[in-house]
Amino acid sequence: MGTADGVRTRRYHALLVAATRPPEGRMVLVADLEVEVETAAGQFALSSHRYRGEVVWPDGIGRLVGFSAAPWPRWEYALADGTRIAAECVIAPGAARVHLRWRKLAGGAAHLLVRPLCAGRDHHALHHENPAFRFDADDRDGRVTWRPYDGVPAITAAHNGRYVHAPDWYRGFRYDEEAARGLDAEEDLATPGTFAFDLASDAVLVFAAGGEGGAASGGDVAIAVAHVFDDERARRAGFASAGARAADSYLVARGDGRSVIAGYPWFTDWGRDTFISLRGLCLATGRLDDARAIVRAWCAVLSDGMLPNRFVDDGGAPEYNSVDASLWFVIAADALVVTGACLAAEVRAIDEAIAAIVAGYQRGCRHGIRVDVDGLVASGEPGVQLTWMDAKVGDWVVTPRTGKPVEIQALWVNALAIAARRDASLEAALARARVAFASRFWNPARAMLFDVVDCDHVAGVTDDRLRPNQILAVGGLPLPVCNPAGSQARAIVDAVERALWTPMGLRSLAPGEPAYHRGYFGGPRERDGAYHQGTVWTWLAGPFIEAWVRVRGDTIAARREARTRFLDPLLSQLATGASCGHLGELADGDPPHAAKGCPFQAWSVAEVLRVDALLR
């Protein structure tokens, strides 16, 4: 991950990042490169870094004349003497291996010098000069290996040049995005030596983590790398759309199964995100085998009617702290079964998991999750955040939503409807929940739904703030809890559109409501305090667009208008956006709605793809 101009601004910007316990345990091994070209006219830098004191050095950024992300990242540089150099990067799918190629496009004799800048740290951390870093190099037959620290994967470099060992430290790199987030922002990197290449032919350099193979060495490495580039061109051309290509990035291995990375660079696989995303990432793109593998893997971690919300980076026990992850599983797993792609044994396992989830909620499970006497799901206890609005700072739960949140009831009604198709005895529970929802959630004073009823488990206490969660009663789920042909559903969608819709998705709280935050910025406490208090969430565009079309009778005209007004601008970002063919997590609540948060977010991509398929 990096920037188009090559100047790193985040601790996550790095060249070789390896997951030591895929998809967890990510470590930054090679953070960056120092690159220069020698010609008869002198030495010219191609790289630039920001150092403390706002110093940018060397001046390679001034020679950058072009960047493109497709079919892979490619930079072009122009030197004062007319020499032009192209640099390209391909990461082999499913391997901790990065392939780099430099090619002279114009000019006379030239030599390339490349100095790797290494770390050996957790990707959330920063690296500082220390005597423990091991610079020793095992250099033989066009392959150099360094072992920076005990317990850290070795770094292997295959090349077609010449390696010169010259250990040193580069100190005081400055990461502006980290500083803006109120975090430590300076780092030191170790450099073991320099690679020298004659640009009479392509210069190639392959960095791999640990025992990763796959690249030849010496004179054969250029041929091997050329094949990797050719294979990657064919692979990327095989996707039906830019969105399908983006979706592929989030589908990863977990053990012998499959899972979904919630977002890059800092999320792993989360239960809620996985099953909100599965219909768009897999079903809408025809990746049914991946969907089956994901559902199988998560069935295995069902516990007491709950799926874990996330697996932790240090390999510890998964966290079962979500009221909605299990219900989203029911929605996604049933949608998979409906495709007819599952084997009989898989259908049985899904049926058993759905039954176990419904029974667990009816019986009562962790964190006060239970079906109350009115047939709706109550949840929550002090100090725990259970819905998708889950920001927490120390002991402060920013949006606790304890009681009966509106979207949880929409999910519960849908789960009961799905389970009732398998077990007719649940039809009475379904009918009771639907009646309770209709009688308890309509807010006539504001012509919309309450966000939470029985707040803090106190009967009759309601939260009437205008939030986007109510949209899931009309769109985003197979069964609309509010009849789309009715006046209430139209009023809900109109209220959400007026106050919450932005070109980047839905605000999490309406402007003018108490605690509305206009932007997502500042240190961790400020950002988490704004996370669900006005900040725009792109994934909510999916439920909103579907609801908007439903209340207009799902006509061809409504679909066309929704595509033009709401969907096409988001789809265009998958091809041309700042996130290089992806969609991010967040945006500021106030215009111009600058992108914030995690730059590459699975459910943002997934919901746009899902609705795109629905509107065709």
Q: What is the 3-state secondary structure (H, E, C) of 87-146?
A: EEEEECCCCCEEEEEEEEEECCCCEEEEEEEEEEEECCCCCCCCCCCCCCEEEECCEEEE
3-state secondary structure of 197: strand
> Ramachandran region of residue 492, left (φ > 0), alpha (ψ -120 to 50) or beta?
alpha
* Distance in Å from the first CA to the final CA of the chain: 33
- Are 246 and 582 in contact, with CB atoms under 8 Å apart? yes
How many C-beta neighbours within 10 Å does residue 612 have? 21
pLDDT of the residue at 369: 97
Cα gap 268→93, rounded to integer Å? 17
Which DSSP state fits 344? H
Is the pLDDT at 221 greater than 70, yes or no?
Answer: yes
Whether residue 442 is predicted with pLDDT greater than 90 in this model: the reply is yes
- The pair of structure tokens assigned to 498 is 């007026």
Question: Would you say residue 272 has pLDDT above 80?
Answer: yes
Average pLDDT over residues 249-254: 93
**In the structure, what pLDDT confidence band is assigned to residue 302 with cuts at 50, 70 and 90?**
very high
553/560 Cα distance (integer angstroms) = 13
- The one-letter amino acid code at 227 reads H
In eight-state DSSP terms, residue 147 is -
> What whole-number distance in Å separates Cα of residue 544 and Cα of residue 541?
5
Q: What residue spans define the domains of the chain?
A: 16-237, 242-614
Separation between Cα atoms, residue 169 and residue 149, nearest integer Å: 15
Contacts by 393-399, CB closer than 8 A, 24 or more apart = 393/524, 393/525, 393/528, 393/529, 398/528, 398/529, 398/531, 398/532, 398/533, 399/532, 399/533
Cβ neighbours for 247, distance < 8 A, ≥ 6 positions apart:
280, 281, 282, 285, 287, 605, 606, 609
Across-strand partners of 162? 196
pLDDT digits (tens, 9 = 90+) for 495-535: 999 999 999 999 999 999 999 999 999 999 999 999 999 99
**Residue 203: in which H helix or E strand, if any?**
strand 203-209
Does the pLDDT at position 214 exceed 70? no
Q: CATH assignment of 242-614?
A: 1.50.10.10
DSSP symbols for 483-538: -TTSHHHHHHHHHHHHHHEETTEEESS-TTSTT--S---SSHHHHHHHTTTT-EEG
pLDDT reported for residue 583: 95
Percentage of the residues of the chain whose pLDDT score is greater than 70: 97
Give the per-residue pLDDT at 581.
85
**Mean per-residue pLDDT, 221-228:** 95
Q: Is the dihedral of CA 256, 262, 268, 271 positive or negative?
A: negative
When pLDDT is cut at 50, 70 and 90, the band that residue 575 belongs to is confident
Note the pLDDT tens digit of each residue in 147-175.
999 999 999 999 999 999 999 999 999 99
Residue 130's CB: how many other CB atoms inside 10 A?
A: 10
DSSP string, 282-339: IITTT-HHHHHHHHHHHHTT-BTTB--SB--TTS-PPB---SSHHHHHHHHHHHHHHT
Nearest by Cα to 450 from 410, 484, 480: 410
CA atoms of 138 and 155, how far apart (whole Å): 10
**pLDDT of 333 higher than 60:** yes
Task: Please say whether the beta carbons of 43 and 37 come within 8 A.
Answer: yes
Q: Which top CATH class is 16-237?
A: mainly beta
Structure tokens at 424: 């007719």
**Most trustworthy range by pLDDT among 26-35, 206-215, 579-588:** 26-35
Region 83-102 average pLDDT:
95
Flag whether pLDDT at 215 surpasses 80. Answer: no
C-alpha 425/C-alpha 152 separation (Å) is 55
Q: 467-499: per-residue pLDDT in tens?
A: 999 999 999 999 999 999 999 999 999 999 999
Amino acid occupying residue 358? V
How far is residue 509's CA from residue 518's CA, in Å, rounded to a whole number? Answer: 10
The dihedral of CA 605, 607, 613, 616: what is its sign?
A: negative
Q: Which residue has the tokens 């790797």?
A: 116
Q: What is the mean pLDDT of the chain?
A: 95
Rounded CA separation 545/536 (Å)? 15
Q: If you average pLDDT over residues 263-270, what whole number do you get?
A: 94
* In the block, residue with structure tokens 């799905």: 418
Q: pLDDT for 4-25, tens place per residue?
A: 999 999 999 999 999 999 999 9
Cα dihedral across residues 497, 501, 505, 508: positive or negative: negative
The three-state secondary structure class of 587 is strand
Beta-sheet pairing, 505-507 with 501-502: antiparallel
CB atoms within 10 A of CB 559: 18
